[in-house]
Amino acid sequence: MAPTSLPILNISAYRFVPIADPQALRESIRSRATDLGLKGTVLLAEEGINLFLAGLETAVRAFVLDLRADDRFAPLEPKESWSADVPFGKLLVKVKREIIRMNHPHVRPAGGRAPSVDARTLSRWLDAGHDDSGRPVVLLDTRNAFEVDHGRFRNAIDWRIGKFTEFPDAVRANAHTLEGKTVVSYCTGGIRCEKAALFMAEAGVGHVLQLEGGILKYFEEAGSAHFDGGCFVFDEREALAPDLTVRS
């Protein structure tokens, strides 16, 4: 339920799934979102969908219900937060080569997801200092440096990349430092850490997991445990606190 003082529902969601005609889907999504008065960004590609939208709760939930009626998007589980105002100036629906650009099109999560760890399990591992097999756990931030500067998991590895396309080279240069550890890649909502985990596995890094749902899902399920600061978001709110409100 929405807090009475915060009428705007913000959602973020993605799904790697083959889309044969993203241009046709673009028109239908743009039309429906416009009719519902939603604002934000929807990215489409042959590899899937990535969206950030905001509006009145009834409108947002109607949009999600319509989207899930398509079998390709039925599993979508948007991450939610609330705000006093819509933090986007307009609606953009774009067709891209990748819904999250890495410049490695052979890394296709729709062909098989990377193994994942949920927020509560990760928090328990961090409390213990190791995973259930006794292996040391390291967290790897896959976001851009300026995002990391707003907040991060304590003692996380940060390669100070300027954009996600730099991540593969950073892996190649640093893979040896990850040997013998359980590596948990994380990002804002899950999309980058999913591709990152798959790339690392292909590059020969053993014991790689992605944080299911990213930081936003972690905040929802585990709060601020082991996390310092807030989570940068790509809208006018700038950053969210662990209670998913705008960070002051």
Domains for the chain: give ranges and CATH numbers: 8-95 (3.30.70.100), 109-240 (3.40.250.10)
Q: Which pLDDT value is given to residue 107?
A: 78
Catalytic residue numbers?
187
Tokens 């939208």 locate to: 53
Q: Count Cβ atoms below 10 Å from residue 141 Cβ, excluding itself.
A: 23
As given in the structure block, the two tokens for residue 228 are 């310092």
Amino acid sitting at position 167: F
Amino acid sitting at position 235: D
pLDDT tens figures, 91-101: 999 999 999 99
pLDDT tens figures, 2-57: 455 899 999 999 999 999 999 999 999 999 999 999 999 999 999 999 999 999 99
Q: In terms of DSSP H, where are the helices of the chain?
A: 22-35, 57-68, 119-128, 145-148, 167-174, 191-202, 214-222
The secondary structure of 74-132 as a DSSP string is TT---EEEEESS---SSEEEEE-S-SS--S-TT--GGG-PPPEE-HHHHHHHHHHTB-T
